[in-house]
Amino acid sequence: MREDWIQPILDEARSKGLERSALPYPEAGGKIKIDGKEVLNFSSNDYLDLAHHRHVMDCSREALDQYGIGSTASRLVTGTLPIHEELEERLAKKKGYEAALIFGSGYMANAGTIPLLAGRNDFIFADKLVHASMIDACKLSGAKLVRFAHNDVQSLETRLKQFPNTGNRKLIITESVFSMDGDIAPLAKIAALAEKYDSMLMVDEAHSTGTFGPHGAGLVRELGLEKSVTVSMGTMSKAMAGYGGFVACSKNLRTLLVQSARAFIYTTAPPPATIGAALGIMDVLESSPRLGAILQANADYFRSLLHAGDLNTLQSQSQIIPIVIGNNERAVAVSKTLRDQGIIATAIRPPTVPDGSARLRLSITLAHHIDDLDRAAEAIISVLNS
Ligand SMILES: Cc1ncc(COP(=O)(O)O)c(C=O)c1O
């Protein structure tokens, strides 16, 4: 068997403190029981605590009962069900766009969309910290990838000036809430630059969908930038608590994606139970418009506790709160100590974050009550300051 090249790679990762493993958890969500003991999970993306919401589970079950376990074909064959179309209409309306298109996951939404917006002779200007799914999509596109400094509009403008219009397409990509830093892109300024330099703009709203904006519509909508942002991408896997991805865009772009987006065409349509769940989430977001605001107020409170304990949370302004530790092994050791105290705060290491910036990435969810936040902050401060 010609697998002798694998062990050295694994050994090297281990020696750098970068070994990864997928540990099984007995439950999902922000507050879970492990061996009968209540544990606070600060590594769940179920920001609004909806993964076990009764109405959402009922909607998922109804879809399962009505349509069965699978869509049984790709969307362009016979996999499109009425609930796929209903969800797309509701997502488009929520996001303030003409149309929306669902993909199998957020990763696939990026992988399917970016290569259609820019191709071999085009330019993509990407924030230095955009998610791996966007970077992979850029590579897939064959476009020239130009990086600009994180959230730095001057750096973006410099790069845009370096590549004057020659009839090629330009695309700027960024996130509204950054997945590992929890900070917020200066979207209005980036949108103004996109207009000035005749560039398209795509914003990954994986972490602001559900958590910001009117009825959880996200930051693009909150800032009224729907007309300047060509594509607002989102996932159903974070605050929407389930699985799947989507883009909101113009009708024309949707039509083009349906014709040509490989990650849309060459894969089976998302299964009924996940679409049913997403429809249930849409109901909850409509009927409980303040969930995102409560979450952000709790995150503000938690940050203030950490700051009072002299901890630095970078520029976080959202439910995602990083505490940079730096050294990989120390980050893992801190995470383990906290886990022993009933607090899950997974260490995030390179290449997910830049070298030397291993961190605890804490996510606040509505499963965490104020006294949970007090307890967690006290434990984190004491472990990090010891
Ligand atoms: C910013 C960002 N974009 C895209 C994705 C991919 O979304 P999904 O988990 O639905 O594939 C993620 C999540 O991992 C993310 O954090």
Number of folded domains in the chain?
A: 2
Ligand 1 probe mutation, 45, 180, 235, 363, most atoms within 8 A of CB = 235
pLDDT digits (tens, 9 = 90+) for 237-278: 999 999 999 999 999 999 999 999 999 999 999 999 999 999
The pLDDT, as a whole number, for residue 112 is 98
SS3 348: strand
Please tell me the residue having the least CA distance from ligand 1 atom 16.
Answer: 179
Instruction: Give the separation between CA 206 and CA 223, rounded to whole angstroms.
Output: 16
SS3 318: coil
161 and 179 in a single domain? The answer is yes
207 and 294 in a single domain? The answer is no
372 and 272 in a single domain? The answer is no
112 and 241 in a single domain? The answer is yes
Instruction: Give the separation between CA 230 and CA 194, rounded to whole angstroms.
Output: 10
Identify the domain boundary among 287, 322, 344. 287
The pLDDT, as a whole number, for residue 335 is 95
The pLDDT, as a whole number, for residue 97 is 98
Whether 32 contacts 39, CB under 8 Å: yes
Whether residue 18 is contained in a domain is answered as no
Q: pTM for this one?
A: 0.96
Q: Which residues of the chain have pLDDT under 50?
A: none
Whether residue 19 is contained in a domain is answered as no
> Choosing from 105, 133, 179, 237, which is the catalytic residue?
179
105 C-beta closer than 6 A to ligand 1: yes
Instruction: Tell me the residue range of the domain where 76 lies.
Output: 54-287
The rounded Å distance from CA 148 to ligand 1 centre is 21
148 and 43 in a single domain? The answer is no
223 and 144 in a single domain? The answer is yes
The pLDDT, as a whole number, for residue 337 is 96
In CATH, what number is assigned to the domain containing residue 216?
Answer: 3.40.640.10
The pLDDT, as a whole number, for residue 17 is 83
Instruction: Give the separation between CA 212 and CA 60, rounded to whole angstroms.
Output: 24
The pLDDT, as a whole number, for residue 277 is 98
The pLDDT, as a whole number, for residue 241 is 97
The pLDDT, as a whole number, for residue 339 is 94
Whether residue 16 is contained in a domain is answered as no
Instruction: Give the separation between CA 64 and CA 340, rounded to whole angstroms.
Output: 39
163 and 229 in a single domain? The answer is yes
Identify the domain boundary among 267, 287, 307. 287
170 and 276 in a single domain? The answer is yes
274 C-beta closer than 6 A to ligand 1: no
283 and 295 in a single domain? The answer is no
206 C-beta closer than 6 A to ligand 1: yes
Instruction: Give the separation between CA 249 and CA 315, rounded to whole angstroms.
Output: 29
65 and 201 in a single domain? The answer is yes
368 C-beta closer than 6 A to ligand 1: no
Identify the domain boundary among 228, 255, 287. 287
Helical spans, DSSP H, in 151-209: 153-162, 187-196
CA distances from 185 to 1, 172, 315 (A): 49, 12, 11
In CATH, what number is assigned to the domain containing residue 341?
Answer: 3.90.1150.10
Q: Longest C-alpha distance within the chain, in Å?
A: 64
Burial class, 267, CB count within 10 angstroms (exposed 0-12 / middle 13-18 / buried 19+): middle
pLDDT digits (tens, 9 = 90+) for 283-332: 999 999 999 999 999 999 999 999 999 999 999 999 999 999 999 999 99
